[in-house]
Amino acid sequence: MKLTFWGTRGSIPAPGPDTVRVGGNTTCLELTGSEKSRIIIDAGTGIRNLGASIIKEKNPGKIHLLLTHSHWDHLAGYTFFAPAFNPEYSIVTYGKKLAQEVLKRDIYERYDNRYSPVNLNNLKAEIKFNKTLPDNLVLDGINITNINLNHPGNGYGYKFEENGKKIAFITDNELGLQYNSGNSPSEIKKFCKGVDVLIHDAQFLPSEIEDHISWGHSTYKEVIDLASIVGIPYILLTHHAPERTDDECDAIINEANRYIKEKGSQIKCELAIEGNSVEV
């Protein structure tokens, strides 16, 4: 499986000279497996560039869109996704009921000239919204399981498995706090055990987290602690704070690697960077 990052910024796009290396687009990832499937995770602003790349491939067909949750930074790019305007594509959406409802009601059905020069008549693709997400979903040979996260308004983390390899993608999750709707730390650990790679939210610094309890995000230390407890060899930090510059992101990785060394651990830790891929 190959996971490509089209957007890794949290909360709001952050373009500009200070974020050019890590990237300014909000969450959007593309997963391909051995069947050359087209699975997209989240429709943040990174989906615009992904859509252009899909059109360039000239290989129309079905696109699966998995949503983590309904926050704007994860849906805001949907109306700029070029395959939605093309009758040769079909887009099937999966995710939490709320995320689907928000996407359908607040974005898709408001696709009219009050907000934009194009309207629903311009959307030529076949577009489907699923009401539920099965516990065990298989898309083009990739097995997908999910877990309820600890985040305001809820959210799903996903685990992808093919040919014995496993990738977990968990963004917008507060490792330091359990919400009524979320899973306990031990359930999150169980879900992550055995994965080859974990991509996890690390929006806040350890020095910032105390002022942001219940905002639904984590720190690099919490992600490293989780990975070392369950034995995950490779982690990538994502959902970078919008104000975080490239140099500050580099500093986080240096700090993270110092912390890993202090723990006597061998975990490989990197930033999830727009345009990069991870392969297992």
101 near 55, Cβ under 8 Å? no
Here the tokens at position 45 are: 């602003």
Per-position x/- string for 18-57, each x denoting binding to Zn ion as judged by CB under 5 A, each - no binding: ----------------------------------------
Which region among 71-79, 89-97, 113-121, 129-137 touches Zn ion (by CB under 5 A)? 71-79
Q: How far apart are CA 106 and CA 102, in angstroms?
A: 5
β-strands 197-201, 165-170: how paired?
A: parallel
Per-position x/- string for 170-209, each x denoting binding to Zn ion as judged by CB under 5 A, each - no binding: --x-------------------------------------
Minimum distance between the CB of residue 273 and Zn ion, rounded to whole angstroms?
17
Nearest to 221 by CA among 279, 188, 267: 267
73 near 43, Cβ under 8 Å? no
Q: Which residues is 198 bridged to in the sheet?
A: 168, 235
- Give how many residues touch Zn ion by CB under 5 A: 4
Q: Which is nearer to Zn ion, 47 or 54 (CB)?
A: 47
Task: Determine the residue with CB nearest Zn ion.
Answer: 71
Which DSSP category does 172 fall into?
Answer: S
Which region among 66-74, 96-104, 113-121, 240-248 touches Zn ion (by CB under 5 A)? 66-74
Q: Which is nearer to Zn ion, 166 or 244 (CB)?
A: 244
Q: Which is nearer to Zn ion, 5 or 259 (CB)?
A: 5
Per-position x/- string for 153-172, each x denoting binding to Zn ion as judged by CB under 5 A, each - no binding: -------------------x
Q: Which residues are CB-contacts of 93 (< 8 A; sequence separation ≥ 6)? A: 65, 66, 67, 100, 103, 127, 128, 129, 130
Is 217 a residue that touches Zn ion (CB under 5 A)?
Answer: no
Minimum distance between the CB of residue 26 and Zn ion, rounded to whole angstroms?
7
Q: Which is nearer to Zn ion, 161 or 174 (CB)?
A: 174
Minimum distance between the CB of residue 237 and Zn ion, rounded to whole angstroms?
14
CA–centroid distance for 251 within its chain: 23
Contacting Zn ion within 101-160 (CB under 5 A): none
First to last CA, the chain: 6
Q: How far apart are CA 24 and CA 47, in angstroms?
A: 12
Which region among 47-55, 69-77, 81-89, 173-181 touches Zn ion (by CB under 5 A)? 69-77
178 near 169, Cβ under 8 Å? no
What are the residues binding Zn ion (CB under 5 A)?
10, 71, 73, 172
